[in-house]
Amino acid sequence: MIAGFIGTGSMGSILIEAFIHSGAFNPEQIVASNRTISKVELLAQTYAGLQVARSNREVVTRSDIIFICVKPGEFKKVIDEIKEDVLPSQMVISITSPILIQHLESTLPAKISKIIPSITNYVLSGATLCIHGNRMQPEDQEWLENLLAHISSPIRVSENYTRISSDLSSCGPAFLAYFLQSFINAAVEETGISKEEATLLASEMTLGTGKLLTTGGFDPATLQKRVAVPGGITAEGLRIMDNELVGMFQQVVRATHTKYAEDLEKAEQLLCTKQQPSQEPN
């Protein structure tokens, strides 16, 4: 089994490294190309045996499964380059949310899935969202999800909910990190605690909270209730958040969906497909 990667930017390289670290693939089983080839060469220096491809077509002809890890605006060029070489027996997996399954199935003869990874997959954690096309048979779907289980919890989602699922799973780490950075900065400014100590405490707290919410039997509401003892300190902090953050997350969700609608429109124009996707309610 050879896995090909087209695009080794932030997420392409995270997926490659996660697959290697998890033991899902040996470096010899990976072939990769990137517009700026030095990025792949660097990966090959780190992981001896990883194969550097000099073109996207070379990745396709040498792989059984191909991950396309480029941004939406770069997609058309990649598809045009590879479409003559892609075979019906191959799996083509896109990680680019506004490129719809219908876009891919109408341009490539392969078995198509879309997955939305998360930076958390770098530490073999978090979810990978899975949306399978019609050509992916149940056994293909199971095979792909078993592969993704090496680096994440694969979770099937409806394509209609791609954006909000991805907001939570893939944008979420940045949103949470923003929250933590603001908390840490305030701690340093207001009390003089060192940034290093505040960061260590906040990071350990985040790890523990994640465990409570995934395997510890808590949901966000019960967790708050358990920590915020009546008449205690936490309740004072939550009171401020209740006042200050009202409506903020609604605005965040609306903003990501507005951008997504723009990206979908551009992808439609770029790839010239006719059918319109149904949009999830906000």
Ligand X SMILES: NC(=O)C1=CN([C@@H]2O[C@H](COP(=O)(O)OP(=O)(O)OC[C@H]3O[C@@H](n4cnc5c(N)ncnc54)[C@H](OP(=O)(O)O)[C@@H]3O)[C@@H](O)[C@H]2O)C=CC1
Ligand Y SMILES: O=C(O)[C@@H]1CCC=N1
- Rank residues 34 and 162 by Cβ distance to ligand Y and give the closer one: 162
Contact predicate 163/98, CB 8 Å: no
- Decide the pairing of beta strands 3-6 and 91-94: unpaired
Which of these, 60, 120, 58, 123, lies nearest to 93 by C-alpha position? 60
Helix %, strand %, coil % for the chain, to 5? Answer: 60, 10, 30
Does 115 participate in binding ligand X (rule CB under 6 A)? no
Piece of 139-147, 163-171, 206-214, 224-232 that binds ligand Y (CB under 6 A): 163-171
Residue 17 CB partners (closer than 8 Å, separation 6+):
43, 47, 122
- Give the residue, chosen from 36, 215, 243, 278, that forms a contact with ligand X under the rule CB under 6 A: 36
Strand, helix or coil at 31?
A: strand
Q: Give the C-alpha separation, 9 to 11, whole Å.
A: 6
Stretch touching ligand X by CB under 6 A, among 40-48, 71-79, 151-159, 206-214: 71-79
Q: Going by C-beta distance under 8 Å and a sequence separation of 6 or more, which residues neighbour residue 167?
A: 252, 253, 256
Q: Which residue is closest to ligand X by CB? A: 9
Between 40 and 198, name the residue whose CB sits nearer to ligand X: 40
Which of ligand X, ligand Y, none is residue 251 near (CB under 5 to 8 Å by kind)?
none
For residue 95, the partner it binds in ligand X, ligand Y, none, with Cβ less than 5 to 8 A by kind, is ligand X
> Considering beta carbons, is residue 198 or 270 the nearer one to ligand X?
270
Please state the closest distance from residue 192 (CB atom) to ligand X, in A: 34
Asked if residues 107 and 79 have their Cβ atoms less than 8 Å apart, the reply is yes
Q: Which of 170, 184, 270, 271 binds ligand Y (CB under 6 A)?
A: 170
Which run of H or E residues covers position 202? helix 195-214
Q: Does 7 bind ligand X (CB under 6 A)?
A: yes
Kindly tell me which residue out of 29, 51, 56, 128 binds ligand X, with binding defined by CB under 6 A.
56
The site for ligand Y (CB under 6 A) is made up of: 166, 170-171
The site for ligand X (CB under 6 A) is made up of: 6-12, 33-36, 39, 56, 69-72, 74, 77-78, 95-97, 116-119, 170
